[in-house]
Amino acid sequence: MKGDMQMNTRDLAYFAALTRLKSYTAVAHEFHVSQPTITYAVRRLEAELDVQLIQRDQSHRQLELTAAGAQFAVHCQRIITELQIVQREIAALKTPQIKMGLPPIIGNYFFPHLAPKLVAENLLSRLQLDESGSARLLKSLEAGALDLAMLGSLEPLTAPDLDAALLATHHYRILVSHDHPLAKKKEVAFKELQDEPFLLLNEGFMHPQAFQTLCNLNHIQPHIMLQTSDIDLIKQLVSQNAGISFLTETALTPHDDLVALPLSDPEQPLFLISIAKRHDHLLTPEQKKLAALFKDSF
């Protein structure tokens, strides 16, 4: 391997695509270049690393990596991902917009109280909100598509590539209509709900994981009648006695015409609310101010 490495990013991109597509022709088609261009790129990388990356045994129809090639492919993809994040972050510095992940449940809970402070600090107009569920927002944050994110989770966010601050811990509730037989109870054990039809949030949220945790703890699997990202639809269907639901208390408002029952289970998942950023992302002064306002709102 040469001491002064001079790989170009295009060659890395070609090689990463080659490991994914397993075809020189397919890679050439994807990048709109000739097949020899891809071949020469691989040879340049091999010369730079002083190692063979691709098996050249013509008896094998499918492209195969050498052990060194497989190892290099892992690092190659990491380099490309980091470069993409750098490009996004540099581009973000050229715009006044702050890309913020704010799940609808958390946003509806406290954002109305925070909005006047954001206006006073001239930050509200600069927010570019992504209002997906926490599970999707976490992936977007890790990919560099967001500057900051408020996230719901079942456990504290301790991934080494994240800086997260736990702001609040809330409980999950069982939602029923006022006409439902369970409405008269003060609390309910999850095991009692085995025969109830559930209306749940979909996999973009943390709720399915929390729900399945309770199922596993109680060795039951209630029927899930509907999964959706529409919280208001769930509440409306529950109020019409079409089923019951499982939502964090964070999602409830004084205007909901529903009964929210605490779970009596001694062991149950919690809904943790955190604010997070990538560990290697340097916050701008405006982003720091925004993060401080969100933290102070709890």
Asked if 265 contacts 216 with a C-beta cutoff of 8 angstroms, the reply is no
- State yes or no: pLDDT of 139 exceeds 80: yes
Average pLDDT over residues 229-254: 94
Residue 163's pLDDT is 95
- State yes or no: pLDDT of 25 exceeds 70: yes
Cα 22–141–81 angle (5° rounding)? 30
- State yes or no: pLDDT of 172 exceeds 90: yes
Residues 6+ apart with CB under 8 A from 92: 99, 147
> Residue 158 — very low, low, confident or very high, per pLDDT cuts 50/70/90?
very high
Residue 91's pLDDT is 67
Average pLDDT over residues 263-278: 96
- State yes or no: pLDDT of 126 exceeds 90: no
Residue 31 vs residue 298, higher pLDDT? 31
Block residue for tokens 């993409």: 84
Phi and psi dihedrals of 235, rounded to 5?
-65, -40
Return the percentage of the chain with pLDDT > 70, whole number.
Answer: 94
pLDDT 10s digits, 226-238: 999 999 999 999 9
Averaged confidence pLDDT in the chain: 89
> Residue 110 — very low, low, confident or very high, per pLDDT cuts 50/70/90?
confident
pLDDT 10s digits, 42-98: 999 888 888 889 886 655 567 888 899 889 888 888 888 888 777 777 766 666 689
Residue 58's pLDDT is 58
- State yes or no: pLDDT of 150 exceeds 80: yes
Residue 280's pLDDT is 86
Structural domains for the chain: 9-92 (1.10.10.10), 95-163+272-296 (3.40.190.10), 172-269 (3.40.190.10)
Name which of 30, 96, 82 is nearest 286 in CA terms. 96
Length of the chain: 298
Residue 92's pLDDT is 63
Block residue for tokens 């939502």: 247
Residue 57's pLDDT is 62
- State yes or no: pLDDT of 173 exceeds 90: yes
What is this structure's pTM? Answer: 0.68
Residue 59's pLDDT is 57
State both tokens at 19.
């490991």
Give CA 115 to chain center in angstroms. 24
